[in-house]
Amino acid sequence: MPTTDRLLQALSGPQSSTRLRAAMTLGTYPDSDLVPALIERCAVEPDFYVRDMLTWALTRHAADVTIPLLLAELAGGQPQARSQALHTLSKIGAASTWSAITHDLLTDPDPETAKSAWRAAVVLVPDGEEEALAAVLASQLGRGDEDLQHSLSRALVALGEMVEAAVEDATRHPDPQVVAHALATQQLLEDPDSAFTVSVEEALRLRALASAPQEEAG
């Protein structure tokens, strides 16, 4: 095994393959003293696969060492640091970290942070908190591009029947983009294997039908 200094040097090296191997080694041979370096790298690592390996490496260390440092990242100003910390907390899955998934994180203006918060929340939500979580997630319907919307819908679907009322309410929202996203989410709730399609045109058509005067029965 390379020395600690060489591993830390490799962890910030110019080649992603070198950084990947360093992260794998640090996970294979856990050393609590190196957890801060792993978390620090998470905040700046540009390669998705290396970030995923960093998360794996952190899950191999003692939770009582990693969790406090990850929670501290959630209060930071760097979006990638928050996003990756949330992702790692979801992989650790400690119930005690649920309270750290705040409303501010679930509605974070950074798309990647919000996505990570949604996924973590669905994993960590305790019994009895599902409806409240569903309401917050439903408040984000209509937000962002299709990728972000699909991520939100998957999070809502993962909560199951608890989200049905909140999503149904969103189909009557004044914003047609919210309505379209709610309708697409309803389709996934009915058939999780169906295609995800957000159609503002369909939302506007259904709204027009709903608001049209009913013909009198003759």
Q: What ranges do the domains of the chain cover?
A: 1-124, 129-212
pLDDT at 114: 97
* Number of residues that this document lists for the chain: 218
Per-residue confidence (pLDDT) for residue 215, from 0 to 100 = 47
CB-based contacts of 156: which residues, under 8 Å, 6+ apart? 134, 137, 138, 163, 167, 185, 189
- Second-level CATH architecture of 1-124: Alpha Horseshoe (1.25)
Among positive and negative, which fits the CA dihedral 95, 90, 139, 135?
Answer: negative
The single-letter DSSP state of residue 109 is S
Of the candidates 24, 28, 25, 23, the residue with the CA atom closest to the CA atom of residue 41: 23
Contacts of 106 (CB under 8 A, 6+ apart): 114, 117, 118, 121, 133, 136, 137, 140
- Which of 91, 30, 84 has its CA nearest to residue 57? 30
Element (H, E) at 27: helix 16-28
What pLDDT, on a 0 to 100 scale, did the predictor assign at position 209? Answer: 59
Give the pLDDT score at 203. Answer: 60
- Are 69 and 40 in contact by the 8 Å Cβ rule? The answer is no
Query: Could you tell me the pTM of the whole model?
Result: 0.86
Across the chain, which has 218 residues, the per-10-residue mean pLDDT values are 85 95 95 96 97 98 97 91 97 96 96 97 95 95 92 93 91 89 87 71 62 51
Which segments of 23-175 are extended strands (E)?
none
Which is nearest to 61 in space by CA: 12, 15, 116, 23? 23
